[in-house]
Structure 1
Amino acid sequence: MSLYRHLSADERIVIEKLRFGSHCSLQQIAVAIGRSKSTVSRELKRNRWFASNENESYRPYRPSDLKTEIYTAQPFYSALTAQRKAAVRNRKPRKTRRLDHGRLLSYVLDALRKGWSPELIAGRLRHEYPADPLMRVSYECIYQWIYRKPERSRDLRAYLARNHQRRRKRGGRKGKGTRIAMRVPIGEPPALVDSRRQLGHYESDTVIGAVASKRCMNTQVERKTRRLFARLIDDKSAASTIKAEYEIYRTIPPKARRSRTWDNGTESALHQAVDEALGMLTYYTDPYSSYQRGSNENRNGMIRRYLPKKTSFENLTQEELDMIVHEINNRPMKCLDYRTPNEAWNEEIHKLEIQSTTNNHTPHRCT
Structure 2
Amino acid sequence: MHHLQYNAGMKKYTRLSPQERDLLAHWQAEYLSIRECARRLGRNHSSLSRELKRNSWKEEYYVAIHAQGNADRRESVKAHGKQELKNPEIFEYVTDKLRGGWSPDQIAGKLRFIHPKDRYWWITAETIYRWIYKEEQMKCDQPWYEYLRRKQKKRKKYNGRIVHRSHIPDRISIHKRPKVIDTRKEFGHWEGDTVEGKGHKDGIHTEVERRSRKILGKKVAEITSHATIIIQKQLFGKLPKLARKSTTLDNGRETHLHYELRTALDMDTYHADPYSSWQRGTNEHGNWHLRYYFPKGTDFNEVTEEELQEVIEEINNRPRKILGYLSANEMFNKLLKEIQVLH
Gaps of 5+ in 2: 1-98, 113-123, 127-162
- Aligned letter for 1:193? I
Deviation of 1:237 (Å)? 0.5
| Alignment of 1:217 onto 2:200 | no
Deviations 1:244-289 (A, max 9, x none): 0000001100011100000111101011112110000111111100
Query: CA–CA distance in 1 between the matches of 2:265 and 2:101?
Result: 45
1:1-367 matches, within 5 Å, as 164=100, 168=107, 169-171=110-112, 172-173=124-125, 177-211=165-199, 214-356=201-343
CA contact (8 A) 1:215 1:236 kept: yes
CA contact (8 A) 2:165 2:171 kept: no
Deviation of 1:349 (Å)? 1.4
- Closer/same/farther in 2, CA of residues 165 and 259 from structure 1, 3 Å limit: closer
- Aligned letter for 2:230? K
Query: CA–CA distance in 2 between the matches of 1:180 and 1:226?
Result: 27
- Aligned letter for 2:302? N
- Aligned letter for 1:259? S
- Aligned letter for 2:285? N
Query: CA–CA distance in 2 between the matches of 1:178 and 1:206?
Result: 20
Count of aligned pairs = 193
Query: CA–CA distance in 1 between the matches of 2:100 and 2:233?
Result: 37
Counting aligned pairs with the same residue, the percent is 37
CA RMSD of aligned residues (A): 2.1
Deviation of 1:173 (Å)? 3.9
**Correspondence for 1:361:** none
- Closer/same/farther in 2, CA of residues 312 and 335 from structure 1, 3 Å limit: same
Query: CA–CA distance in 2 between the matches of 1:240 and 1:196?
Result: 29
User: Larger Rg: 1 or 2?
Assistant: 1
Gaps of 5+ in 1: 1-162, 357-367
Q: Give the structure with the higher percent helix.
A: 2
Query: CA–CA distance in 2 between the matches of 1:280 and 1:176?
Result: 23
Residue 297 of structure 2 aligns to a residue whose secondary structure is: coil
Deviation of 1:338 (Å)? 2.1
Query: CA–CA distance in 2 between the matches of 1:173 and 1:329?
Result: 31
**Correspondence for 1:99:** none
Residue 170 of structure 1 aligns to a residue whose secondary structure is: helix
